[in-house]
Structure 1
Amino acid sequence: MKRCYKILGILIVLITIGGLSGCKEKEKTASSDEGGNIQKEVTVCDDNGTKKTITDMGGRTVEFDTEIKKVYGANPMATILLFTLVPDKIIGWNEKLPNQEILPEAYKNLPVVGSMGTKQQAASAEEILTYNPDLILYAQAEINKQSAEKADKLSQQLGKPVVLINGSLESTESTYELLGEIFDCSERSNELIQYYKDTLSNIEKTKSEIKEEEKIKVYYGKEEDALTTSGKESVHAKLIELVGGKNVADAIEGDSDAAVNLEEVIKWQPDVILLSEANKNEKNAYQNLIQNTAWENIPAVKNNKVYVSPMLLFSWFDRPPSINELIGIKWLAVTLYPDYYEIDMKSEIKEFYQKYYQIDLKEEVITDMLQQ
């Protein structure tokens, strides 16, 4: 029996690949991503195997068939990542998508199957099993003991292998590397990684030129009354700091949303207010705020600097945190600092949707969205 081994060491990813034609050597050096994951790899290949075994980003050992035809993204973060890499394998959407008409024909009529391991749009194990997925992908913005336990529970409920990945922007590189190995599409995943690295590098270069006294104070309001927010440690508001803004709610600790009162927002005196209208209960957030005279003396309101984060298929800023934040970074950067960031948003939007979703957006779609 012929065997080949490539040992590069392991911390995050351990992959045992069985192939019918041997193991193709690939060099990979140790690296550390923005999320602090040090990535080193061990590959062990066996000519007559049909199973692939990995250690996922939660430290869990997962074995599954090498031939993967169908995958269930257990939550939107997971499904969005799958759609960028292996759209032909996803069994359905977790919820009905806005702007669904821009999708390629093959994906417009995918069923809404719901989510598991989350409170939103809950799906039943019985329903998911009717689609007979070969693998379950479960994404969390923070990987810890609790997220690993949720992945274990999900695997027990479905009787299927569940791979836990980090869906945070900071872990994009290591996440795509792992997914590239799982689905044997490393060339595609490396292309997306490069765009991610170039985007963050360009933003960071310009951000370093912004003087401290020029930094803009930003309040991120959620829910219909805009009186729920996130601190600077939260995955939900991190783009503010990434582009050089100051989150006025930076004293709020942890990653969870926090309720605040209007008096606090008035005290913070934000220069810009960002709103989310991604959830059903937020659809009137902008109108509610600008029509409420109690907000009128806040600088952001007085100077018409209240913005709703764009959404095309998926939110650019939050709800859920996703790879769409890469175009959201550029939008927020040029919105806060038009004199610093020289970004042609029309061309950037077109390039992003072509690269990540393989969608050629019509000019009028892009124009309409930027005018909202």
Structure 2
Amino acid sequence: MKKILTLTLCLALLLGLFSGCGGKRYDPLAGVETTVFTDDAGRDVTVPAGITRIAASGSTAQMILMTLVPELLVGLASSPSTAQRPYFPEEMWTLPTFGQFYGSKANLNMEALIDAEPQLIVDLGDAKENVRSDMDGIQKQTGIPTVFLEATLEEMPQAYRKLGRLLHREAEAEVLAVYLEQTLAMAAENSAKLPQDARKTVLFGTGATGLACNAEGSVQADVLSLVGAVNAIHSEEISNRNGGTTVNLEEVYACDPDVILLAAGGPYDTLAESEWSGLTAVKNGTYYEIPNLPYDWMSSPPSINRVLGIYWLGNLLYPELYDYDMVEKAQEFYRLFWHYELSAEEAEQLLARSTRKTRREGQ
């Protein structure tokens, strides 16, 4: 009898596990009107006609969806930190965390996803070679309609418009799409005015040492070329993950960049008293820490934050061309995209470590 009871209990547990984690507990298309949406992977996906519950495939998609339809998100790829929380609607602070759905950092919590019952999973980003099979795999694994929209910086305006049509937020999406188009046009116009000998070389370093660099050709570093700068780091093997391309200090001295950008958590505070001190950028005080709330303004992940990065970096490198008040630009962006009224004092605090230092004595 004990063996029978034990087997029965094990069977019940297994059934519960499969119903909770197998993506089959519910059918998001059952009993609802549907329509067919063609995504940017060329897939015809049947989706509910009226979508009220969505999930993001990862952090890049989450950021874009937060700017347009935060109220539709039923969970997050990553939960906000204490520092990020003020920029998130309070109702999002306690949403379940699903994790990353696919890729090298995949850590999907299937049970949390199924419990939240999203009607749609949205993936946004650059179109990788296997994007179609990735989307098919997620949809098969979860049983939830999954769509991909290309959201490189150049394609970002259209990504918003497509999201607007899909989620019935056309008017709101159009406002953001127009802002993005105007930003990209401004950057293209200003960059075209810069002769080659006026273009500043920039090292974009990440990590605790600053030596994990986003090299030329990396998606993480595309803001550099857009504003008219030259990436100081070139590599035959371009990495968009795990901090990019690792270099040594000797290589940094060999290129001796005009400007150094460091991600938060890097060696910004000690640069002038370290082995970096002989570099031209350090001597001239042209090294900066990238503002990073609610997300890094340049990358990590390379999402909508890069648009604000265009304004910031352009103004920093070429203020005669990118001629505006950066505090006011930050306030405008936060109001439009993060639905947050950023005060002038808050904006100045965000920018405090991204302003020029005075030249060191004796230089």
**1:75–1:118 CA contact under 8 A, matched in 2:** no
Task: Return the alpha-carbon distance in structure 2 between the equivalents of residues 72 and 128 of structure 1.
Answer: 8
Task: Return the alpha-carbon distance in structure 1 between the equivalents of residues 183 and 236 of structure 2.
Answer: 28
Alignment pair present for 1:274 and 2:261: yes
Compute the TM-score of the two structures, normalised by the length of structure 2.
0.82
Task: Return the alpha-carbon distance in structure 1 between the equivalents of residues 55 and 340 of structure 2.
Answer: 22
What's the CA shift for 1:221? 0.9
What's the CA shift for 1:364? 2.1
The Cα offsets for residues 331-368 of structure 1, whole Å up to 9 and x where unpaired, read as: 00111112332021111111111111221112321121
The Cα offsets for residues 250-274 of structure 1, whole Å up to 9 and x where unpaired, read as: 4545454222221111100101111
Task: Return the alpha-carbon distance in structure 2 between the equivalents of residues 223 and 271 of structure 1.
Answer: 20
- Number of the residue aligned with 1:122: 107
- Number of the residue aligned with 1:86: 69
- Number of the residue aligned with 1:354: 335
What's the CA shift for 1:120? 4.0
Task: Return the alpha-carbon distance in structure 1 between the equivalents of residues 68 and 203 of structure 2.
Answer: 34
Amino acid at match of 2:202: V
- Number of the residue aligned with 1:213: 197
- Number of the residue aligned with 2:348: 367
Alignment pair present for 1:232 and 2:216: yes
The Cα offsets for residues 298-340 of structure 1, whole Å up to 9 and x where unpaired, read as: 1111112111111121221000011121111010011111233
**2:154–2:184 CA contact under 8 A, matched in 1:** no
Task: Return the alpha-carbon distance in structure 1 between the equivalents of residues 208 and 134 of structure 2.
Answer: 30
What's the CA shift for 1:106? 3.2
**2:239–2:245 CA contact under 8 A, matched in 1:** no
Q: Equivalent of 1:287, from 266, 269, 293?
A: 269
Task: Return the alpha-carbon distance in structure 2 between the equivalents of residues 311 and 186 of structure 1.
Answer: 29
With over 3 angstroms needed to count, the CA separation of the structure-2 counterparts of 1:263 and 1:92, relative to structure 1, is same
**1:72–1:90 CA contact under 8 A, matched in 2:** yes
Alignment pair present for 1:310 and 2:291: yes
Alignment pair present for 1:263 and 2:250: yes
The Cα offsets for residues 102-143 of structure 1, whole Å up to 9 and x where unpaired, read as: 3333334434332211444723212211101100011232x1
Is the partner of 2:202 in helix, strand or coil? strand
With over 3 angstroms needed to count, the CA separation of the structure-2 counterparts of 1:82 and 1:233, relative to structure 1, is same
Q: Equivalent of 1:245, from 229, 236, 239?
A: 229
What's the CA shift for 1:178? 1.5
- Number of the residue aligned with 1:71: 54
Is the partner of 1:273 in helix, strand or coil? strand
- Number of the residue aligned with 2:34: 51
Q: Equivalent of 2:278, from 275, 292, 297?
A: 297
What's the CA shift for 1:243? 0.6
- Number of the residue aligned with 2:43: 60
Equivalence map 1:3-22=2 (5 Å): none
**1:53–1:62 CA contact under 8 A, matched in 2:** yes
- Number of the residue aligned with 1:167: 151
**1:231–1:254 CA contact under 8 A, matched in 2:** yes
Amino acid at match of 1:259: T
With over 3 angstroms needed to count, the CA separation of the structure-2 counterparts of 1:366 and 1:126, relative to structure 1, is same
What's the CA shift for 1:60? 1.7
Structure 2: gaps (5+ residues): 1-31, 354-363
What's the CA shift for 1:370? 1.4
With over 3 angstroms needed to count, the CA separation of the structure-2 counterparts of 1:252 and 1:331, relative to structure 1, is farther
What's the CA shift for 1:147? 2.1
Compute the TM-score of the two structures, normalised by the length of structure 1.
0.80
- Number of the residue aligned with 1:112: 97
What's the CA shift for 1:171? 1.1
> Which one has a larger percent helix, Structure 1 or Structure 2?
2
> Which one has a larger percent strand, Structure 1 or Structure 2?
1
Q: Equivalent of 2:85, from 100, 103, 107?
A: 100
Is the partner of 1:201 in helix, strand or coil? helix
Matched residues, percent identical?
29
Equivalence map 1:324-335=2 (5 Å): 324-335=305-316
Alignment pair present for 1:137 and 2:122: yes
Is the partner of 1:274 in helix, strand or coil? strand
Q: Equivalent of 2:326, from 334, 345, 348?
A: 345
Task: Return the alpha-carbon distance in structure 2 between the equivalents of residues 304 and 232 of structure 1.
Answer: 23
**1:227–1:260 CA contact under 8 A, matched in 2:** yes
**1:226–1:289 CA contact under 8 A, matched in 2:** no
Amino acid at match of 2:108: A
Task: Return the alpha-carbon distance in structure 2 between the equivalents of residues 104 and 131 of structure 1.
Answer: 18
**1:316–1:325 CA contact under 8 A, matched in 2:** yes
**2:210–2:266 CA contact under 8 A, matched in 1:** no
